[in-house]
Chains A and B, each alone.
Chain A
Amino acid sequence: MYKIVIIDDEPLARSIVKEYLQKHTELELSQECGDGFEGVKAIQQHKPDLIFLDIQMPKINGFEMLELVDERPAVIFTTAFDEYAIKAFEAHAIDYLLKPFNQERFDKAIAKWLQQADSTKESTKDLLETASLSPAQAQRIVIKDGSKIKIIPAHEVFYLEAADDYVKVHTKDGYFLKSKTMGHFEQVLDANQFVRSHRSYIINISQITRIDPYEKDNHVAVLKSGAKVPVSRSGYPKLKSVLGF
């Protein structure tokens, strides 16, 4: 018996998936969820084998939700129209259902999943890398803080700091850990707003109050919060050009 979870914000969109599931007696619906927050909880609780996931949902989209899940199930995406997402699916050979879809197409997706249940998980990981570069996700950083989910608008970030396999996202409420690389954030965040001042630091330039010299050749940026962020020899000219001094 396989466990299934459906995550979609439109009730009728969930009901059509339920209807199509009926003839697959080996699949059992554990829960249906109307948003990503419920989705994260349901996945943790039921540990489903397969989820049906919509992309456009309230607060956090389908991709952001997946990033918050530690043990990722196999995913079949269901979406109406999202050029960006469809490109990402095709790039990573992930199966997706374009709404509206019929029973036949649905059965095909299930059959494909049953055949290659393991390999789909790997491609999901690659897919998330691509999806996290989307313009929508440059506006905010979604983080799991214990059992809570925190959405940090990009403009509220003070600075980012590398910490092993994680990045510390410093905000007015302290820092939060996100398992991403510095390179990822450098690529995603608005380059006119965020500058990589140092191998291990990215600064939100609207937070800078002054830049002081520090030891020989180096500088340090002082933020509104009082935090001091290192600026390397190669980071200094980058700050200079963005700030225009």
Chain B
Amino acid sequence: MIWYGCSFEIAIIDALVSTIHLLLASLLLLNTLRYYMPQKERFIHLFAWCVFLTAIIIILTRLELTGLLIHNHGYSEFFDRSVVIRISLYFLFIGCIALMSVIWYNRVEQDERGKRKQDLEKLAKDAELFKLRQQLQPHFLFNSLNSINALIGVRPAEARKMVQQLSDFLRGTLKKEEQQWVNLKEEMQYLQLYLDIEKVRFGNRLSTVVNTDESAENLKLPALLLQPIVENAIKFGLYDTMGETIIIISAKNEDNKLIVEVQNPFDPETSAPQQGTGFGLKSVQRRLFLLFARNDLLKTTAKENIFTTTVTIPQHV
């Protein structure tokens, strides 16, 4: 059989050698691109690299076929005549491989980068949430210790009780790091410890009213969320007014959402309205945003001389 003036044998050898070279060149290209991905503006390098590979395999194929494998004068002439077609085909093939691998490796890298970014974000979020939960006012701690110090001399039994309350309170801030969510009943018990300590510190000036709807008791909320809100209300109330400060805390279940309201008195004549949301509330707001990706869960309103902080906790389905 004759193909374009070549015997079947020669045609097979030619095809085999050419294909092997092409495959080797493609492998080389793939491996290079795996480790060295050209920058966006440097695709000219890739083009040059393809031209170079095409030239190399054309020369190698020519040398091997005409010099070593096929000792036929008609064949080398045939090869030279078909060289343009061979170059075009090689270049096209190598070019396609290059393009495909660039696209493929880019995808892989992008996926990896995306995953890394996600991991990093989660890590940062966890760290920030941890820090926000742990925020304890040193002012509160040292003043409580000072009150205990005073009680030891005059009313030792009360001093003991307060040591116990303060320990339970501190243990609560440490313990809850693993379990992010607690039910309202637990959170209220914890809050009560805090309120009792503050009442010892401020004596008659501070009183509290707590109203919890029974239907809300088993709703969930992020642990230690309420204490900074109440702390802010107590500070605002005690340092902005002169007389007795009543803090009213109420919780209810509204369409299966937990709504907690904290009220404190303030003096509208001396407090600038924008001062209302202090640092304590900013950290609560940030925490809610990290947990729910919403900024509308914490609201404050000032009406006459009552400042109200309302927090809404959506329930997980």
* A residues with CB within 8 A of B: 9-13, 15-16, 19, 34-35, 37, 56-59, 80-82, 98-100, 102, 139-140, 151, 153-155
Contacts and interface: CB of A to CB of B under 8 A. Distances in A.
Interface string B229-247: 0000000001111100000
Nearest to B204: A11
B239 A81 contact: no
B91 to A, nearest CB: 62
A10 B147 contact: yes
Most buried by A among B141, B145, B147, B238: B147
A154 B239 CA distance: 18
A140 B275 CA distance: 12
A99 B145 contact: yes
B142 A100 contact: yes
- For the complex, would chain B's binding face be called helix, strand, loop or mixed by DSSP majority? helix
A34 B241 CA distance: 12
B139 A82 contact: yes
B272 interface: yes
B5 interface: no
Contact of A81 (B142, B202, B238, B242): B142
A57 B146 contact: no
B74 interface: no
Most chain A CB atoms below 10 A, which of B138, B143, B145, B146: B146
Contacts of A16: 146, 149-150, 153
B242 A155 contact: no
- In order of increasing CB-CB distance, the 4 nearest A-B pairs are A80-B142, A99-B146, A16-B150, A12-B150
A186 B270 CA distance: 21
B271 interface: yes
B151 interface: yes
Contacts of B150: 12-13, 15-16, 19
Contacts of B151: 12
A13 B242 contact: no
Contacts, number: 80
B153 A57 contact: no
A100 B146 contact: yes
A10 B143 contact: yes
B145 A100 contact: yes
B102 interface: no
B228 to A, nearest CB: 17
A81 B240 contact: no
Given A59-B240, A100-B149, A139-B275, A12 B201 contact: yes
Interface string B119-148: 000000000000000000011011101111
B204 to A, nearest CB: 8
A59 B139 contact: no
Nearest to B137: A81
Contacts of B240: 58-59
A16 B154 CA distance: 9
27 contacts: A10-B146, A10-B147, A10-B201, A11-B202, A12-B151, A12-B201, A13-B143, A13-B146, A13-B150, A15-B154, A16-B149, A16-B153, A19-B153, A19-B154, A58-B239, A58-B240, A58-B241, A59-B239, A59-B270, A81-B142, A82-B139, A99-B145, A102-B149, A140-B270, A153-B272, A154-B272, A155-B272
Contacts of B203: 10-12
Contacts of B201: 10, 12
A12 B239 contact: no
A165 to B, nearest CB: 27
Given A12-B150, A59-B267, A81-B138, 8 more contacts: A10-B203, A15-B150, A16-B146, A56-B239, A58-B239, A82-B139, A99-B142, A100-B149
A53 B43 CA distance: 74
B200 interface: yes
A153 to B, nearest CB: 5
Contacts of B238: 9, 58
A100 B241 CA distance: 26
A35 B269 CA distance: 19
A13 B147 contact: yes
A59 B240 CA distance: 5
Contacts of B267: 59
A8 to B, nearest CB: 10
A100 B271 CA distance: 31
A15 B203 CA distance: 12
Contacts of A81: 138-139, 141-142
Contacts of B205: 9, 34
A73 B239 CA distance: 25
Nearest to B203: A11
Among A9, A10, A154, residue most surrounded by chain B Cβ atoms (within 10 Å)? A10
A57 B239 contact: yes
A135 to B, nearest CB: 12
Contacts of B153: 16, 19
B242 A59 contact: yes
A37 B242 contact: yes
B272 A139 contact: yes
